[in-house]
Structure 1
């Protein structure tokens, strides 16, 4: 994930004295938020798939 590469880069820059700790923590938060959004979208997609399958095939087919 590109945001993880940015996070790692910012951490290296922090160690080199070019970024502040707050910047590193913001990048970590951003990665966590993106992972959460991906999980939410995956769960939503799965839920829609199940609902469609039930409507098309009926509850007995599942």
Structure 2
């Protein structure tokens, strides 16, 4: 979770979203990801609502300018 700390400094929670069919809510891979995320970072908060990839990328790009 070094990337999380590098790009989101501070102590507040950081929303983490997943995308793609391999990480659907009840897959074994998603379960492993959730457990690893919780173990690696106390700040990461996995959000369950779907994220449109193109809109998410656009929002990130707008924030960087």
> TM exceeds 0.5?
no
Richer in strand (by share): 2
Structure number with bigger Rg: 1
Richer in helix (by share): 1
TM-score (ref. length: structure 1): 0.31
TM-score (ref. length: structure 2): 0.29
